[in-house]
Amino acid sequence: MEKMNINITTEYIKLDQLLKFSALAESGAMAKDMIFDGIVSVNGEVCTMRGKKIRPGDKVTVEFEDATVEVEVGAE
């Protein structure tokens, strides 16, 4: 499993924006598809809400066919 740390300067970031910001999704449409396909989990639970607010301390996991990536969100 690959791990990444992303720091944000705001109170939260929306899930689809985080996927784009971390370069796990190339576009908003791709982020939306990833979320609706059920390959994205927030704190261990599959999340299908693309506007879910992700806050510092949250962990987002994306399960691709060939790799799993975990993103831990921190505050700057």
Position 68, amino acid: T
What pLDDT score was predicted for residue 76? 85
User: CA–CA separation, 43 vs 76, rounded Å?
Assistant: 20
What pLDDT score was predicted for residue 35? 98
What pLDDT score was predicted for residue 39? 98
pLDDT tens string, the chain, 76 residues long: the values are 999 999 999 999 999 999 999 999 999 999 999 999 999 999 999 999 999 999 999 999 999 999 999 999 999 8
Number of domains in the chain: 1
Residue 32, domain CATH = 3.10.290.10
Q: Which domain holds residue 6?
A: 2-75
What pLDDT score was predicted for residue 12? 98
